[in-house]
Amino acid sequence: MITNIHLNSISIFDQLLDFFYSFISEEDCRLCARVMLARGQLMDGLQDFGGEARPAIIHRWINDTPRYSRVICSDCWQGLSSETPLMGFYEQDGERSFAIVSGAPYSGEMRSLIHSLKYEGDRLLAPDLAAIMLNGWRMGSIFLNQKNAVLVPVPLHWRKGMERGFNQADLLANEASKVLDIPVLRGAIKRRRATTPQQSLEKAERFKNVENAFHGNPSKLMGRAVVLVDDVCTSGATLAECAREVNRCGATKVVALTVARTMLRAGRDSGINRLRHEQKD
């Protein structure tokens, strides 16, 4: 089958990349700063790490191939991956509600890792953060018929994209796509105007700030089940605006998936209703 050949070729390519990478790179764990041993799992038991270096750890599988973190050691990964995924529903009068699923609360180490990816350009973190994001997938996937599902990264304005050199939501969606075998739909929505960074605004202003900021392409979105992908959900305003636009363009279903999510206090939250905590299996 053509699909299989395609998937296998991606996997072999990734394996080769990993293999060569292991010879040329020596990364420090981004959380504890100990030296990472690339492909350390092969040496596990043969070497005494002396409390200094830690092997990378398998924390996801792509097409039956184990993948190792390059930048988060096994000890730190244990702490990160034990975070509980969060799910809430975004409900606004007159709008279709949609689920927002996040891999972990936006605090502490999670916050600093996302910051490093976004503002310091540490792209090697993208696969790990995508793996955290996918912790929540089991909850998100129950809302979707996967057959016509597509991943749609929340777009940056083109000028911001040029400045940063990448869109973190694109990187996360690409990683998620490899694991879930759901395609990334590019150019489905665009940011039609540059908006003020949401974190600099009060909550009420955030909704105003992104109002009508996105423009979707109906020929790409018609009949699709859309998984919106972003790094962080705070007020939910940006995701809600994207959801409104993809619905307008004929999407049959919307679910949002983010790496992290700010913890909301009951009663202070305008759009997203009560947060439900669910244990992963």
Binding site for Zn ion (CB under 5 A): 29, 31-32, 73, 76
Q: How far is the CB of 176 from Zn ion (least distance, A)?
A: 23
Phi, psi (rounded to 5 degrees) for 35: -70, 135
In terms of CB distance, is 22 or 270 closer to Zn ion?
22
In terms of CB distance, is 55 or 105 closer to Zn ion?
55
Q: What is the DSSP code string of 189-232?
A: EEE-S----GGGS-HHHHHHHHTT-EEE-HHHHTTPEEEEEEEE
Q: How far is the CB of 36 from Zn ion (least distance, A)?
A: 8
Q: How far is the CB of 80 from Zn ion (least distance, A)?
A: 10
In terms of CB distance, is 78 or 196 closer to Zn ion?
78
* Euclidean distance between CA atoms 265 and 247, whole angstroms: 28
Task: Report helix, strand or coil for 184.
Answer: strand
Give the Cα-Cα-Cα angle 181, 185, 187 (nearest 5 degrees). Answer: 160
Q: Which amino acid is at 269?
A: D
In terms of CB distance, is 32 or 43 closer to Zn ion?
32
In terms of CB distance, is 50 or 267 closer to Zn ion?
50
Give the Cα-Cα-Cα angle 61, 62, 65 (nearest 5 degrees). Answer: 70
The tokens describing 46, both together, are 């043969």
- In 3D space, the residue among 43, 44, 40 whose CA is nearest the CA of residue 22 turns out to be 40
In terms of CB distance, is 69 or 247 closer to Zn ion?
69
Q: How far is the CB of 75 from Zn ion (least distance, A)?
A: 5
* Euclidean distance between CA atoms 214 and 155, whole angstroms: 8
Q: How far is the CB of 34 from Zn ion (least distance, A)?
A: 6
In terms of CB distance, is 10 or 35 closer to Zn ion?
35
Contact in structure between 151 and 184 (CB atoms under 8 Å): yes
Q: How far is the CB of 25 from Zn ion (least distance, A)?
A: 16
Task: Report helix, strand or coil for 269.
Answer: coil
Task: Work out the number of other CB atoms within 10 angstroms of the CB of residue 95.
Answer: 13
The tokens describing 138, both together, are 């089991």
Q: How far is the CB of 74 from Zn ion (least distance, A)?
A: 8
Q: How far is the CB of 164 from Zn ion (least distance, A)?
A: 26
In terms of CB distance, is 7 or 31 closer to Zn ion?
31
Reduced DSSP (H G I as helix, E B as strand, rest coil) percent helix, strand, coil of the chain, to 5:
40, 20, 35
